[in-house]
Amino acid sequence: MSILAARMIGSGSYLPEQILSNAELAGRLDTTDEWIRTRTGITERRIAAPGEYTSDLALKAAQRALQMADVSAETLDFILLATTTPDLVFPATAVRVQRKLGVKRQIPAFDLQAVCAGFIYGLSMADSLIRSGAARRVLVIGAETMSRAVDWQDRSTCILFGDGAGAVVLEATEEPQRGILSTHLYADGQYEDLLRTQGGISHGILLDPASGSGFLQMRGNEVFKQAVKALEEIVDVTLAANGLDKSQIDWLVPHQANIRIIQSTAKRLGMTMERVVMTVDRHGNTSAASVPLALDEAVRDGRIQPGHLLLLEAFGGGFTWGSALVRW
């Protein structure tokens, strides 16, 4: 059999129950609902419960994706989990999800760290595995508990992030022009100081809520400019690689960091916001989970239909960024 593409056969997502509104944040910090909404587009975000870990969110998203695909977890050949907020340093959160899914086959499973671009990186890896014949069915998850990576005293960052998970099941298909048509990945380490955590195992600095040490720090304004530029460029690269015109894209499914970044990418594509899947208002920035969360929402509410052409993109810490062109 000649394998031509990796097709998405199911999607799923999960958000923790607790909603944290801008009004609640304004009660604790020197900020306002108005500032957060106008600068970011965010009105609320979800926060994982005590004892609820990244693998728990990932498990629920994965179960829903498997259910939509109508396949059992036992038929998976590979699990890739993109996260910046793993349950533990090790074992990998992907392996914990493998166990929680009850998978008895000793299939490979590992975590992938490309921060907010992690899910796009995961799709690209899964596409390569399937095209090469190394795997026929791959589960790709983006899952985060970003609420545990931010300093809740730092108004410039904590208001931005939320928790959640999304997943897709990919399967080998012989149908040409179906599934992942192309992926484009980039990294540039020279901007590390604009967006990074201050702590980590090898640095010997742990994330400590009492002292506020170790948490995420960002020079938001400078990250914003780099994100807009990189995403505008990647849109052009993706279209050119496929010989497509921007008018042929049915849906933009962007990383949900800031409504103003999303609007600038949509403008580059000549798209009205009606053709952009937006969740940033209700989810905030869920890092690697944001693209699959948005994708699943639009698949389940019927906006995305079989045959539609989707442009997925993300930009984040590293910097890392990437895009995927997908025929649903």
Residue from the set 47, 223, 234, 304 that interacts with ligand UT7 by CB under 6 A: 223
Instruction: Give the interface segment with ligand UT7, choosing from 50-58, 60-68, 254-262, 291-299 (CB under 6 A).
Output: 254-262
158 near 151, Cβ under 8 Å?
yes
Closest distance to ligand UT7 from the beta carbon of 239 (Å): 22
141: left (phi over 0), alpha (psi -120 to 50) or beta: beta
Q: Is 158 a catalytic residue?
A: no
Q: What is the greatest pairwise CA distance in the chain? A: 61
Q: Which is nearer to ligand UT7, 316 or 322 (CB)?
A: 316
Site string for ligand UT7, 269-288 (x = CB under 6 A): ----------------x---
Token pair 């907020």 in the structure block, residue: 85
Q: Which is nearer to ligand UT7, 13 or 286 (CB)?
A: 286
Spatial separation of the C-alpha atoms in residues 200 and 216, rounded to whole Å: 11
Q: Does 227 bind ligand UT7 (CB under 6 A)?
A: yes
Residue from the set 79, 116, 276, 311 that interacts with ligand UT7 by CB under 6 A: 116
Number of residues this chain uses to bind ligand UT7 (CB under 6 A): 21
Q: How far is CA 313 from CA 163, 293, 323, in A?
A: 19, 13, 4
Residue from the set 73, 112, 120, 159 that interacts with ligand UT7 by CB under 6 A: 159
115 near 317, Cβ under 8 Å?
yes
Q: Does 300 bind ligand UT7 (CB under 6 A)?
A: no
Site string for ligand UT7, 7-46 (x = CB under 6 A): ------------------------x---xx--xx------
Residue from the set 43, 220, 242, 250 that interacts with ligand UT7 by CB under 6 A: 220
b/e burial code for range 59-77 (CB count within 10 A of at least 16 → b): bbbbbbbbebbebebeebb
Spatial separation of the C-alpha atoms in residues 272 and 130, rounded to whole Å: 34
Q: Does 186 bind ligand UT7 (CB under 6 A)?
A: no
Q: Which is nearer to ligand UT7, 39 or 300 (CB)?
A: 39
Instruction: Give the interface segment with ligand UT7, choosing from 9-17, 92-100, 216-224, 320-328 (CB under 6 A).
Output: 216-224
Q: Does 182 bind ligand UT7 (CB under 6 A)?
A: no
Look at residues 233, 325, 252 and name the one whose alpha carbon lies nearest to residue 294.
252
Say how far residue 128 (Cα) sits from the centre of its chain. 19
Closest distance to ligand UT7 from the beta carbon of 3 (Å): 33
Name the catalytic one among 158, 184, 258, 285: 285
Closest residue to ligand UT7, judged by C-beta, is 220
Residue from the set 37, 100, 148, 155 that interacts with ligand UT7 by CB under 6 A: 155
Tokens of 163: 């928790």
Helices (H), the chain: 22-28, 33-40, 54-69, 93-100, 118-132, 155-158, 220-241, 259-268, 280-283, 290-300
For 162, other C-beta atoms within 10 Å of its C-beta total 30
Helix (H, G, I), strand (E, B) or coil at 114: coil
Q: Does 86 bind ligand UT7 (CB under 6 A)?
A: no
Spatial separation of the C-alpha atoms in residues 107 and 62, rounded to whole Å: 16
Catalytic residues: 116, 255, 285
Q: Which positions touch ligand UT7 (CB under 6 A)?
A: 31, 35-36, 39-40, 116, 155-156, 159-160, 220-221, 223-224, 227, 257-258, 261, 285, 315-316
